Amino acid sequence: MTKDTRSAVIPTDRYTRFVSAGLGKDLAARLGLPQPAILRRYTPDAPLITGPVLVLGSSAGADELAARLLDWNVDVRRHGAPKLKLGAIILVLDELSHPDELSVPVRSVGSSLRDLAPNARVVTISRPAAPELEPAAAAARRAVDGILRSIAKELRNGATANGIVLDDGAGTTAPSVLGALRFFLSGRSAFVDGQFLSVSSERGELPEDWASPLAGKVAVVTGAARGIGAAIARTLSRDGADVVVVDVPAAGDHLASVANEVRGTALQLDITAADAAERILAHAAQRHGRLDIVVHNAGITRDKLLANMDASRWDAVIAVNISAQLRMNQAFLSSDLFTNHPRIVSVASTSGIAGNRGQTNYAASKAGVIGMVTATARLMEPFGGSINAVAPGFIETEMTAKIPFATREVARRLNSLQQGGKPEDVAETVAFLAAGSAGGVNGNVLRVCGQNLVGQ
């Protein structure tokens, strides 16, 4: 079931293009206006990162990671050099034990920030501030959160900063650490900024071909007839998956078009139906003999201030956005088709984290998705599987096109990248979480919001 919308017109962000070069850039600078950059997004065959990668840190883990990056044909540097335009800075802090140890490595990052090229990346690698730690170690580890998120807000020209948090059993070159690092360095993470991703185990497999990390996998995407769902289907197909697209019969024409485009199959059904999961499983069994990836994208809105909220608006949103997922996951995890390192990715929203005026029902459903993901993570472990959520912020979709112009412009600029994201940004994050290289990422919520909490 797709988000209800009748307009197929998605507005373009002409302002970003105007100020990205030439007279527009000069004018914006003189007037003190936002200066969003054209973001570097993923394109096949493009280099992972443009420019040298500076790896900072004195631990054995930093040395091992620097050596491993050479396998990716990355120009690795261990010390900064004045006026050398850097593609990325990786700060390895995997052995922190006291806040006093932060000064030298963090200030080393600071001395190189002005050398970052446009659309560069900063990535920290640290460990969680677990309650059982000594207070000094917990303080040092938690300090990384504030450091990374502050750096992200200082960056300009499309650069982003994100962090990888390793549990104490994972090394810096574990498969899922490398998978997460590659995602953050690449154009796939263009609209992911100021975020941390937890890697909780050594699980995960690196693909034989990074251009086709989902080769041989079968994926189901709900709400796939248009918008973010269609973008997810396209991206999973591009990455090698066989895709089953699902949506309501009323969206049948659009759904068929998407299925043809991705050379997949279409299944028309209402996900709130009691037998929705069984029909999906039967379709996957008949056409492909297996099911590896489920993407819960289908969702609706029925916005109203709570004082004016009626039962039909509330119940419809809860039924589609969370209750259907709970029922389907129970059926999927009981099926023999879904036992070989299965992946579930749910599309949540920053509304479920920060709330949004007039969206108590929607925010409740999306917060519910996050709670479901956290609790379901342990149920995936016996199968070597994972479940994670992607929480979009302001994304340029048919739904956000309905927002009044002035409100839409403000929402676009209220993030560190000073622009709205694209459906493809959500799709790239879903594809990353669905891949084998993210096998050690389980129970995470990754925001795709340009470092903001504007609900979509």
Q: Furthest-apart CA pair in the chain: how many Å?
A: 63
Helix (H, G, I), strand (E, B) or coil at 427: helix
Residue-averaged pLDDT of the chain? 93
Category of 64 on φ-ψ map: left (φ > 0), alpha (ψ -120 to 50) or beta: alpha
Helix (H, G, I), strand (E, B) or coil at 72: helix
Cite the active site residues: 362
How open is the CA angle 218-350-346, to the nearest 5 degrees?
15
327-340 tens-digit pLDDT: 999 999 999 999 99
What is the 8-class DSSP label of residue 75?
A: -
223-243 tens-digit pLDDT: 999 999 999 999 999 999 999
Q: Out of 4-18, 49-63, 237-251, which region has the weakest mean confidence (pLDDT)?
A: 4-18
| The residue type at 118 | P
Dihedral sign for Cα atoms in the order 105, 108, 113, 117? negative
Percent of the chain with pLDDT over 90: 83
pTM comes to: 0.94
At residue 4, the pLDDT reads 40
At residue 456, the pLDDT reads 41
114-173 tens-digit pLDDT: 999 999 999 999 999 999 999 999 999 999 999 999 999 999 999 999 999 999 888 999
Is the pLDDT assigned to residue 352 strictly greater than 90? yes
Task: Spell out the domains of the chain, with CATH numbers in brackets.
Answer: 53-199 (3.40.50.720), 218-448 (3.40.50.720)
Q: Is 50 or 405 the better-scoring residue by pLDDT? A: 50
At residue 401, the pLDDT reads 75
At residue 453, the pLDDT reads 64
Helix (H, G, I), strand (E, B) or coil at 250: helix
Q: Token pair 């003189």 is at which residue? A: 30
Q: Looking at the DSSP assignment, which residues form a beta bridge with residue 218?
A: 242
273-330 tens-digit pLDDT: 999 999 999 999 999 999 999 999 999 999 999 999 999 999 999 999 999 999 999 9
* All residues at 6 or more sequence positions from 268 whose CB lies less than 8 Å from its CB, including other chains: 246, 247, 248, 249, 251, 252, 255
